[in-house]
Each structure stands twice: as structure tokens, then as C-alpha cells.
Amino acid sequence: MNPLSVNPKVVPFNDASRLLVEEDVRRQVAFAAAQAVDYSGPLLVLSEQRLRDNARRFIRAMPRVRPHFAVKANPDAAILKVFFEEGAEFEIASSAELDALLKLGVRARDVFYSNPIKSPTALKYAAAKGVQWYSLDSVDELQKIAAIVPQAKLYIRIEVSNEGSSWPLAGKFGASPAVVDTIIAAAKELQVDLCGVTFHVGSQCCNTENWVEGIKSAKAIFEKLTGNGFTPQLLNLGGGYPIQFTGTEPTIEEISLAISAELASLPESIQVMAEPGRYFVGSAGCLVSQVVGTANRDQARWLYLDTGYYGGLMELVQGFPLKLVSERTGAAELWALAGPTCDSIDVLGSHYLPNNMQAEDLVFFPNLGAYSSSCACDFNGFPAPKLVVVD
Ligand SMILES: Cc1ncc(COP(=O)(O)O)c(C=O)c1O
């Protein structure tokens, strides 16, 4: 049983949830520390068991919803293999992500191409490999897909509220109701198979209403599709399912409960899927970094790490409530944290750590299995975290 699976009806939400988060942080740090005994550079340590637990818990909580892991969250081959073994399918954004899946033996026809804008080259490549499902949120993209993959099965990415998410995706993608109408009209003219709707509530979304409203909007579009001679087949709930950073985030069971009435009134002929990324992999990974130096500057104590903005800690800068853990026991002090590169963007904000931190001390960042190593590069010659998946 996953230690975070608390029935909110039985355990009063507050201290119990917070304590479970603290216990989980301790567990993640102990697990990562065991791999960092001979530390030689930044590490992202992932627990294979936790990857499996996360996938299983999602599947159990959402029986009607087929999970398609969002490969972008962490495309490591060992991680993809674990989720494939657990019965998950996959969502991709690029040709490289498709290749990683094909190498694993995933069937192209089970892969969903959910990037709403794809290059003509990428479309030709995916079509040649046998990908059938493609998302879009504009008439331009519809015309592009229709010309290259006329037999494609298409799903519209609609705009939904991203309020309450830590990493909103609204604005860049998502068709407004007026644009949806133009897409339906163009699809009719081009005689393509427009048969699904998707949305994304924003990553690490703590507002369950976003999913409820998204499903309601999708249902209204299904009616329009039917009225225009199309047959709705797919509701794709996208990603955004949060992990527990503080214990105040909705659990996957609570999200399932919140959307259950809307899903119950959906015809059985409509396949329901989701694209969890962070939920599957985030809580399975702990990033380990090392202090390279300290300094007094501008009346602040600065602490420089061997990895930073470019090396997997981007979300720390974006205000995610990550916990920083040290093996030292000094009194907590506010440090100005920075990465090792010469770039001024590589400054990570003010964070509490023991006041006696020194060069070569390790700093642990639990809950960073998603969007850390996958967003990292070796700018300035500082290596991106090495990823290890441990049994
Ligand atoms: C199309 C799409 N699906 C799924 C995801 C995964 O989202 P999350 O990791 O928040 O679950 C993303 C993330 O950006 C996305 O763009």
C-alpha cells in the first residue's frame, strides 16, 4: 500500500496528511542517500517500486480511465519499461519520444500524439510508423494533418481553466469555443475523422473543478460533433494530477470522486483516457546534489550547488514547494541558493538549510522524478544528473 493513500473520509485531512508527506520525504532521502555513498556528480535516484505503486494506484483509483504516461515527464527507457509492464500506454510530443516507445515494443497504434503543433516532418514520420491518433487546436494544424495523414483519428485540444495549477499551460494551447466551431466546419469539408476531445488543466493542478468543467465542455462538443455527422469516440482528460508536496493537494482518489458523476453519464462507446506525467514519476525520484562552495554576498549567505537551473532544478525556481534536505543538523538558516554555471539565471531563490553547511555536503530534493533530468542539460560543462532506477 502506498504510504500516501489516505482515505479522506476516515483520516481527518490536516496533520495526518502532512505527517505522511514528511515520512515519505524521509523515506525518499534515505533511499537516495544509499545510492550516493560514493558521490561523484548529481544523481536522480528513482525507486522502481514507487513507479509501480504510482501507476497501480492511478489505475485503481480511475477504473474507467486508461492512463497514457506523458513521456516528456521522464523519457528514461527503464522508466518507460516499468510503466509498459504495469499496463500503461503512452502519450508523445516528438519523434524521439515515439522512437523510445517503439524500441520498447509499444505498438504505434496505441500511441497518442498530443502535441497540438507538429512539424510536417514529424507527422510524416509518425504516420509512416503507424501512429493513428493526433491532437490539434487550430484549423491550420487540421489542414496540415489532413494533407499528410488523411486517415488520422483526430482529437481537439480545448481551452480549460488552469487556475490552481502550479505550472499553467493555458494560453499557448487550447481552442476557444469559436475556434472549435471553425475546426468542426473545416473537418467536415476535409472529410477527416474528428472524433475526440482533450484538455490540460495545468501541471500539478490542485483544483478538481478544472477537470469537471473540462468534461462538461467536452460533452457539449460531442453533441456538436454528432450534429455534424461525426461519431465521438474519445475523451482524453490530459495530465495535471498532482503529487503530495505539502499534504494539502487533492489525492488521485479525490479527483476520481470529483469527476465520477460527469464520467458516469458518458456513453460506454466513448473511450476515456488520461495522460499523467508528474503523478506517475514525480514522487518516485529524489535528486541528489552537492555543495561546491559558500560565500557572503549582499548581506546574504550564498550556497552554490553542483547542479542548478540547467541541471534539473528548474521547478525550484518556479516556486514549487520542494523540500530541501541535508544530513547536517545545524539550526535552519535562509540561504541564497545558486547553481554552478556562470549564468545569472542560475539562481534558485532563498531556501532554509542548516547554518553549518559546507562544500561537499549533499543536498537532497525529494519528489523531483518528473521534469528534472528530462529538462536538464550540461551547460558550461556541468553534467546533468545521472539517472538511476533502483529496485
Ligand atoms: C499534452 C500533455 N499531456 C500530458 C502532460 C503531462 O502533464 P502532467 O505531468 O502535469 O501530468 C503534458 C505536460 O506538459 C502535456 O503537455
> Candidates 200, 205, 243, 375: which one to mutate for ligand 1, based on the most atoms within 8 Å of Cβ?
200
Tens digits of residue pLDDT in 274-284: 999 999 999 99
pLDDT at residue 5 is higher than 50? no
| pLDDT reading at 8 higher than 80 | no
- Across residues 360-369, what is the average pLDDT? 98
What's the pLDDT tens digit per position in 154-170?
999 999 999 999 988 88
Report pLDDT for 15: 67
Q: Which atom of ligand 1 is nearest to the CA of 371?
A: 9
> Using one digit for the tens of pLDDT, what is the confidence trace for 286-335?
999 999 999 999 899 999 999 999 999 999 999 899 999 999 999 999 99
Q: Give the least confident one: 14-28, 63-77, 246-260.
A: 14-28
* pTM of the shown model: 0.94
pLDDT tens readout for residues 227-242: 999 999 999 999 999 9
The pocket around ligand 1, CB under 6 angstroms, is made up of 70, 72-73, 91, 114, 169, 200, 203, 238-241, 275-279, 370
Q: How many A from CA of 103 to the centre of ligand 1?
A: 22
Q: In Å, what is the CA distance from 313 to each residue of 101, 186, 291, 303, 323? A: 26, 43, 14, 14, 12
Region 360-389: mean pLDDT is 97
Pick the CATH number of 51-280 from 3.30.420.10, 1.10.1530.10, 3.20.20.10, 1.10.274.10: 3.20.20.10
Atom of ligand 1 nearest to the CA of 115: 1
Is residue 10 predicted with pLDDT exceeding 80?
no
CA 312 / ligand 1 centre spacing (Å): 17
| Confidence at residue 3, expressed as pLDDT on a 0 to 100 scale | 34
* Cα 311 to middle of ligand 1, angstroms: 21
pLDDT in tens, 182-229: 999 999 999 999 999 999 999 999 999 999 999 999 999 999 999 999
